[in-house]
Every structure is written in C-alpha cells, then in structure tokens.
Amino acid sequence: MRTFFVETYGCQMNQHDSELIEGQLRRQGLEPAPAVGEADLVVLNTCSVRDKPVQKIISRIGALGRLNPAATIGICGCVAEQEAERLLDRSPAVGFVIGPGQTARIREAVRALTQGERPVLTGFDAESEHGFTTIFRKSETRGMVTVIEGCNEFCTFCIVPYTRGRESSRRLTEILDEIRDLASSGVREVELLGQTINAYRCPESGAGLATLLEAAAGVEGLLRVRFITSHPRHFGQDLIDVIAGHPKVFRYLHLPIQSGADPVLARMHRRYTRAEYLELVGRIRRAAPDINLSTDIIVGFPGETEDDFAATIDVLERVRFGQVFAFGFSPRPRTPAARYRPRVAEEVVSDRLQRLFAVTDRISRELNEELVGRVVEVLIDGDSRRDPTHWQGRGEDNRVVNFPKTGREAVGDVVEVAVERAGAHSLAGTISGGAVRLPVIAP
C-alpha cells in the first residue's frame, strides 16, 4: 500500500479530523494520490447528521468499487461510529472502520490491514489523544484548532452525542501552544472548534471560552480568531464582552436557534425559549452592533404546525441573519425524536423550506447591499471558484468577497476592497488599498 486519498463529508470537525488522518498516513510513509481512482487506500471521512449524507456514503462505497476496484476503502467519521461492523458487510473492499474517537489510531488500523485483518475501532477513551504536530494542515492562511470534543446536550433530534461522545475539553495551555505554533508558521486566522464550544472549561484551570478567546487573540502574528459552534444556552456576558472588546475576535457568530416556536424548542430539548434567544441576540447586538449572525433551522420537526413555522419565519425577520442553514427534519437512529409523532409530510417540509429560503435570501441580499460603496478588509484565501483571474477571500464578518487580481498580492495577504456589487451569498469589488503582508513570527 503506497498511496492514499481522503474524501471528507460533514462539518468542520470532520474537515479537521481529515487533516489528522492525512498527517498520520504521511507519517506512515504513504503518499497522497493525485486522484481517487489512482489511490491504493481511499478514506471516506463520513457524516451521519441526516439520512441523506449516510445514503451518499453507501452509494459512494459501491461507486468506488467500480471506479477503483483495486483500492481498499477505510471508513472514518460519524457513519463509522454509527454503523461499526455493519460497514464491513457493505463491500469486501471495506478494510477498516474507525469512529471519530479513535481517529488517531489510523496507523494501527493500516498496519492491521496489511496483515490481513479488518479492524473496527469505535468508542471513546483517553488513549485516542494525539499531538497536534501530526496534523497535516490544508490551508496556509487558516488553522483549525479543537477546543472541546463531543456534546452533552442530547437535543432530541441529534446523533452527534452518540457519534462524538461526551464533552471533553483540552487544556488551555495545550491549545495556546498549538495556536502559537500556527501563528509562527504564517497562519493568519485561527478557527476554534467544538460542537458546543461555549461549554468549554479547561480541565486544569477551569477557564472558560471567554478567557481562552482573549488569550488566543493575544497571540502575536494572528490577525483573526473565530469559533464555532455556540449553543445559546451557555452564552455568558463575559463572552459577549470579549467579542465586543477585542478587535481580533471575528465579527461573526454562528448561533443555531433550530426553531422560533417554544413548543418545538421544548420537544427538541434545546432548553431556551424564543424570548431568551431574542434577548441574547439583543444583548450581543447592543455590545457589538457590527456582528454578522448566522443560524441553523430544522424545518418539519415532528408536530411542527403552520403557526410554529410562522413563528420561525418571524424570528428570521426580526434577527435578520447574514446566513441561514436550514434542513428538513431527518429521523436519526437512537434519537428520541425519531419516535415522535405526528411526522410532517415531505411535501409540507419542502414547501416550508422553499418559503424559508425566499425570506432568508432576501434578507442576506439586503444586508450585503448595505455594504455596496463601502471598503472592507479581506483576507485572501485563494482563487475565486468561478474565475481564476479573481481572488476569493472573507471579510472580518465572514462575508465572501470576490475581486480581480492585480498581480501584486498573494494568498494570506490582507487587502482593502471597495464593494461594488452584492448578491445573496457574496460580494464583488476591486482592490482599493495595497496589500498588507504581515510579518511571520519566528518560532
């Protein structure tokens, strides 16, 4: 076995786990293959948050058998934890199954594989810890850093506590070492990761996210610090104060509400009310008026009435989120909501989703239009997806900005862009100020 290819599905935690997988495989002497069809080992790092992504993985296993019949397939991520041994029956090409709590043991699995075994590593234990130096980072400008693993919330619809285990916070000193290491290698923006990141508590000092964020923002050489995902239930005033007061903390906050109707929120076991959420948003906005908020919505949760849905739309109109991620409810194995009745009919769910997107697209376009004529500071990420003569980057509040290259700037630079046009999902403009190339801090 000489070469590998990793395909990643799902959230930032999986994106980051794939960096660990790649780092471990490279350490073992494997090389990345230029295309999936040419790899000896194909790793699928999977997501099971809804049924659709799981079905995608099942059909991908079949398709890989035709595309690259000689390859061994390794299944990692949340479907691996959920399905475990059953994945071995899907295809003889499946050589190992590794759940998110065991990702760091991939080298052990590859060794077992070469001895003719088909290891299945799932569950959660302290042994699966890894050093951050084995991570192979994909981006030169952005670095992801795990702050807290797992989730204790047990929202009734969600599979994550079952696939990612209970909450476990890393030590603050270890997190800061990793951030300093990133800054010294030229990374400009750090993204702190956790499913309920504001439940973070350092096991050594008891420090919370506000303290961590402030310390991270103080690391020399870093331009921006962002964090995802916050639960509305754990959002303290100390965190609001750091967001409002620290110029390096990103002007963007993802704060999933899931529904705007109290009866639905109660059945979801979210443990906040619509009024409490709106009050929190009010406090955040008063302290940091320039903050760009985004949210997640589940449409068609069992028992959701037309009035409940109207209450969700009403919250969207009141808060005016820059971005909304909305999905139809998908029953997940082992979760209480999978047994809740009545289910909302599929046609009703898709009709509600369409109505919701009409509202959210209008609002985000209106918010983007407010920036036309203004100058925004953009960190260049790479080529624009549609046009290689243009750059794509993100403003300080996470908005995507596309603009023509001038030949004088590079990835990782910060430029001032005069915004000329706005769509629902991005801004377009031209560079108005020179590129700022920040000095790399010597380690």
Positions in the binding site for ligand F3S (CB under 6 A): 10-11, 13-14, 47-49, 77-78, 159-160, 163-164
| Cβ atoms of 73 and 93 closer than 8 Å | yes
Q: Which is nearer to ligand SAM, 182 or 255 (CB)?
A: 255
Instruction: Look up residue 6 and give its amino acid.
Output: V
What the block records as the tokens of 443 is 């380690």
Site for ligand SF4 in 26-65 (CB under 6 A): none
Binds 96: which of ligand F3S, ligand SAM, ligand SF4, none (CB < 5-8 Å by kind) = none
Binds 78: which of ligand SF4, ligand SAM, ligand F3S, none (CB < 5-8 Å by kind) = ligand F3S
* 3-state SS class at 378: strand
Place of tokens 């850093």: 145
Binds 315: which of ligand SAM, ligand SF4, ligand F3S, none (CB < 5-8 Å by kind) = none
User: Per CB under 6 A, does 325 bind ligand SF4?
Assistant: no
Q: Which is nearer to ligand F3S, 103 or 368 (CB)?
A: 103
Q: Which is nearer to ligand F3S, 68 or 103 (CB)?
A: 103
| Cβ atoms of 387 and 426 closer than 8 Å | no
| Cβ atoms of 147 and 169 closer than 8 Å | yes
| Cβ atoms of 421 and 427 closer than 8 Å | yes
**Which of 48, 195, 230, 392 touches ligand SF4 by CB under 6 A?**
195
Q: Which is nearer to ligand SF4, 154 or 325 (CB)?
A: 154
What the block records as the tokens of 165 is 């285990």
The distance of closest approach from Cβ of residue 269 to ligand SF4 in the complex, given in angstroms and rounded to an integer, is: 8
SS (H, E, C) 236-251: CHHHHHHHHHCCCECC
What the block records as the tokens of 137 is 């980072």
| Cβ atoms of 414 and 363 closer than 8 Å | no
For residues 357 and 364, give the distance between their C-alpha atoms in angstroms, rounded to a whole number: 10
Residues touching ligand SF4, count (CB under 6 A): 10
For residues 443 and 440, give the distance between their C-alpha atoms in angstroms, rounded to a whole number: 9
DSSP string for 365-377:
HHHHHTTTT-EEE
Least Cα distance to 153 among 140, 163, 142, 166 occurs for 166
Binds 48: which of ligand SAM, ligand SF4, ligand F3S, none (CB < 5-8 Å by kind) = ligand F3S
Q: Which is nearer to ligand SF4, 24 or 103 (CB)?
A: 103
For residues 220 and 172, give the distance between their C-alpha atoms in angstroms, rounded to a whole number: 17
The distance of closest approach from Cβ of residue 343 to ligand SAM in the complex, given in angstroms and rounded to an integer, is: 12
Q: Which is nearer to ligand F3S, 56 or 320 (CB)?
A: 56
Binds 298: which of ligand SAM, ligand SF4, ligand F3S, none (CB < 5-8 Å by kind) = ligand SAM
Q: Which is nearer to ligand F3S, 24 or 330 (CB)?
A: 330
What the block records as the tokens of 221 is 């050489």
Binds 154: which of ligand SF4, ligand F3S, ligand SAM, none (CB < 5-8 Å by kind) = ligand SF4
Torsion of CA 55, 59, 61, 64, to 10 degrees: -150
Give the relative orientation of helices 209-217 and 237-245 as an angle to the nearest 10 degrees: 10
- Per CB under 6 A, residues contacting ligand SAM are 11, 49-50, 157-158, 160, 195-196, 229, 231, 256, 258, 296, 298, 327, 329-330, 332
DSSP secondary structure letter of residue 386: S
Q: Give me the half-sphere count of Cα atoms (radius 13 Å) on the Cβ side of residue 188.
A: 20
The distance of closest approach from Cβ of residue 430 to ligand F3S in the complex, given in angstroms and rounded to an integer, is: 36
Q: Which is nearer to ligand SF4, 120 or 160 (CB)?
A: 160
Place of tokens 């260049």: 380
Q: Which is nearer to ligand SAM, 145 or 219 (CB)?
A: 145
The distance of closest approach from Cβ of residue 153 to ligand SF4 in the complex, given in angstroms and rounded to an integer, is: 4
Could you count the other beta carbons within 10 Å of the beta carbon of residue 166? 10
Binds 392: which of ligand SAM, ligand SF4, ligand F3S, none (CB < 5-8 Å by kind) = none
Q: Cβ neighbours of residue 78 under 8 Å, at least 6 residues apart? A: 10, 14, 46, 47, 48, 49, 99, 100, 159, 160, 163, 164
Site for ligand SF4 in 144-183 (CB under 6 A): 151, 153-155, 158, 160-161
Binding mask 197-236 for ligand SF4 (x = CB under 6 A): ----------------------------------x-----
Least Cα distance to 400 among 433, 422, 375 occurs for 422
For residues 151 and 193, give the distance between their C-alpha atoms in angstroms, rounded to a whole number: 12
Binds 400: which of ligand SAM, ligand SF4, ligand F3S, none (CB < 5-8 Å by kind) = none
Q: Which is nearer to ligand F3S, 159 or 324 (CB)?
A: 159
Q: Which is nearer to ligand F3S, 15 or 139 (CB)?
A: 15
The distance of closest approach from Cβ of residue 13 to ligand SAM in the complex, given in angstroms and rounded to an integer, is: 8
Q: Which residues bind ligand SF4 (CB under 6 A)?
A: 151, 153-155, 158, 160-161, 195-196, 231
